[in-house]
Amino acid sequence: MIFAVDLGSHEWKGVLLGRRWGRWALKQIQRVTAPEHTTQGVAVFRQLWETCGQKNPKVVVTLPDRAVLPVVVRLEAGKRFEEDELRRVIQWQARDHWLTPHDQLVVQWQSFWGRKGQPSVVVGSLVDRGVLSTYEGFLQSAGVSRWVIDAAPYRALNSVPDAAFDLVHVGATHTTVWMVEDHRPLAVHRLPVGGAMFTQAIGQHRRVSLEHAEKGKRSIAFLPEDWGVPGTEGRLATLEGVMPALKRWTTFIHDALAASLRRDSMNTRVPLYLAGGGAGWARLDVALQQVLGRPVTLWHPRVMSELTMTDQLLPAGMSWTALSASVGAAWSARKSR
């Protein structure tokens, strides 16, 4: 059994992966509200862990987007780096985006080797050593015996089997755009705008609590033909509150994809997946599709043909897009059990 937990900024989500009739199956989905203070972390994690109901599964934990900085390093064909040199290259790539001193950073990476004559790619992640120690303390105090903290921000990519695709992962505080070709990440772009920012914008515009703003956000109808439906006046007011942030968000995604190293950066034959807990808005995929002029697909475990699951597992009020990182982490961990 593998229990993968995505420690999001807004919500902690756990999925239990196990074998069933010779195939990997999604067996459980658990969720708890993320603690407001680190001192509450142990109790919250223990609640999630005990709800799992398994005696000794392998636990894999992914960190929130705000705690990890992703970096893509492209190497010349046949180029190899020693570990210390590669660590310096990753830190140098992140120099304008991360102010933490290098001696306080933990650097992880994964290599994606290209075919003969093609460049290789290294995807690195930088994590503050103090943040990492805090989450290690959660696990130890919660009584977990077998665990791995996976700081790799690209685990959501493992939940998509396509050789070439684009992935827009929307978290509570950040949006990350990945471009993948031939099973290798080409580039990554990150914007500090996520679902929480949209909720705050709605709350300030309508002068309501964040709880009410969140409910309003998830009932928004983005398309003009939806606005004339009787009873949607509140939705339109909610939409007006979020439009400035939404315009900035969609422009960022468009520009990130346009800067792709692909010959045709808006190639409609390359699937584009919308994932993450912040992506579960009403018809957000359709709105983004209109801006980009290409098909947009909401991520769902069914894209993974080797994984079995049932829709009845999904808790009420939760979207499948919120589970892309935890499912991707569990899927990666099955190879190293």
Residue type for position 35: P
Q: Give the residue from 320, 174, 327 showing the smallest Cα distance to 256.
A: 174
Min mean pLDDT across 38-47, 127-136, 176-185 is at 38-47
Domain spanning 162-298: which CATH class is it, in words? alpha beta
Q: What is the pLDDT of residues 91-141, one digit of tens each?
A: 887 777 776 777 777 887 777 766 665 657 777 777 888 888 888 887 888
Distance CA 288, CA 254 (A): 9
pLDDT value of residue 234: 54
Q: In DSSP terms, which residues pair with 111 in a beta bridge?
A: 122
Give the confidence band of 227 by pLDDT, cuts at 50, 70, 90. very low
Residue pLDDT, tens place only, 297-318: 888 888 887 888 888 888 887 8
Comparing CA positions, the residue from 329, 335, 336, 298 lying closest to residue 125 is: 329
Q: Report the pLDDT value the prediction gives residue 273, as an integer from 0 to 100.
A: 92
The model's pTM: 0.83
Question: For residue 335, what is the DSSP state?
Answer: G
Pairing of strands 58-62, 105-112: unpaired
324 residue type, one letter: S
Q: Please report, for the chain, the start and end positions of each structural domain, with discontinuous segments joined by +.
A: 162-298
Q: Rounded mean pLDDT of 258-267? A: 61
Closest CA to 175 of 125, 241, 250: 250
Q: Over 70: is that where the pLDDT of 268 sits?
A: no
